[in-house]
Amino acid sequence: MYLFASSVLVRNAHKREEYLIERKKEELYPIILSYMIEDSDDMQQLEEHVKGKVDIHVLLTIMYEIMDSVEGDEIDRLKDILAIDVVRQDRRKLLRSKNVENRIQACAYYSRLARFDEEEFIFFERFLYSDKLMLAHTAATALMSAENIDYRFLALSAMMKRKRVSRMAILDLLYQFHNRHNDQMDEEAEKLLAIIHDRSLPTDNIAVCIKAICEIGYVTIAMDLFELLESGYWNKSGNVTEALIYAMGRFELGFTADSIAERYLSDPRVQVRRAAVEALERFQDESLINSFHKAAKDTEFIVRLKSIYALAGFGEIAKPILNQLAQETDEMRLLIRGVRAEVEG
């Protein structure tokens, strides 16, 4: 009977809380939307409605939802709302909390606000080295919101040093590192190159960084990456070598074809040979047909498959080679038939 009564009380309390939250949303939505539409900078009405913990929670819930669907000048006005004193002081208190979840909530707020002072920065910097990965990542995200590239570089460097950080977490920060609103690509490229040259960093993270550089479009780094590949700077690391070869193909540096074919199609590491075939395929250079012919006989299936796709892409000129390969084994014959059917439609 006691347990039943307790469950009823808890359920009723939860319903009352949900009711209060919905009522508060109904109060705040019109005020927020009005501020977004009008030119007034008067926050008095909003401040009168946001005083306690529940009010702040509801306001932030609404704000985060809206910020995910707008951009431009509207975002700046929304940040002004986020910055009202009662909210900011509450989040500063959470930064000082010993509770990790509270600290994470605070960092998430500042990543949205994209404004912080020196005292707040000191907290983020300390959290970057926390043994709690989620806290470190949210602190890094808060710093990534800064226009100051040195803050962003600090955050990225700290996270890149971690051995147990996921590929997705590194990618997320790399895309945040690129400030799309300011023309900082040259400065960002310089910082990223410094990271790639740092031999103390985990090679998995370096490889992710190189591939992200290609996808974001840091073209000015392309030749530096080529020099790293040519010099053998990262040759002992298969994943970084693979990433550098990938970059040659992604940036379409056709002049690297002979070097890649000569040095990496016979590399003992499968991932490197596969990357070499994929990069060479992007160049669509008929002089590479013999290289693909040789690679089509590789001991690894994935390398053979990629090479056959490359040969099939040359059309008529490579048909004699594909016909010859098809006669060597039943597996090769079936493989070539399937690739031809796909490529030729």
Range from 7-21, 25-39, 316-330 carrying the lowest mean pLDDT: 7-21
pLDDT of 42 strictly over 50: yes
218's CB contacts (< 8 A; 6+ apart) are: 185, 188, 189, 192
**Structure token pair of residue 220:** 């000015």
In this prediction, residues 184-194 reach a mean pLDDT of 95
pLDDT in tens, 48-88: 888 888 889 888 988 898 888 877 777 888 888 899 999 99
CB atoms within 10 A of CB 58: 23
Residue 174 reports pLDDT greater than 50: yes
pLDDT at 96: 96
Q: CA torsion, points 136, 141, 146, 150, in degrees to nearest 10? A: 50
Residue 8: what pLDDT?
45
pLDDT band, very low/low/confident/very high, at 180 (cuts 50, 70, 90) = confident
pLDDT, tens digit (0-9, with 9 covering 90-100), for 234-268: 999 999 999 999 999 999 999 999 999 999 999 99
Give yes or no for a contact between 166 and 131, defined as CB atoms under 8 angstroms apart: no
The number of CA neighbours under 13 Å toward the Cβ of 146 is: 22
Tokens describing residue 321 = 């080679």
Token pair of 293, please? 């012919």
The span from the CA of 280 to the CA of 288, in Å, is 8
pTM for the full predicted model: 0.85
Token pair belonging to 206: 């370096």
What is the number of other CB atoms lying within 10 angstroms of the CB of residue 41? 8
N-terminal to C-terminal alpha carbon distance within the chain: 72
pLDDT higher than threshold 90 for residue 159: yes
Crossing angle of helices 53-67 and 2-37, in 10° steps, is 50
Q: Read off the pLDDT of each residue in 187-192 and give the average, rounded to a whole number.
A: 96
- The predicted model gives 122-149 an average pLDDT of 96
Query: Please, which pLDDT band fits residue 35 given cuts at 50, 70 and 90?
Result: confident
DSSP class per residue in 14-66: HHHHHHHHHHHHHHHHHHHHHHHHS-----HHHHHH--SHHHHHHHHHHHHHH
pLDDT of residue 9: 47
Each residue's pLDDT tens digit, 89-117: 999 999 999 999 999 999 999 999 999 99
- Give the separation between CA 170 and CA 159, rounded to whole angstroms: 7
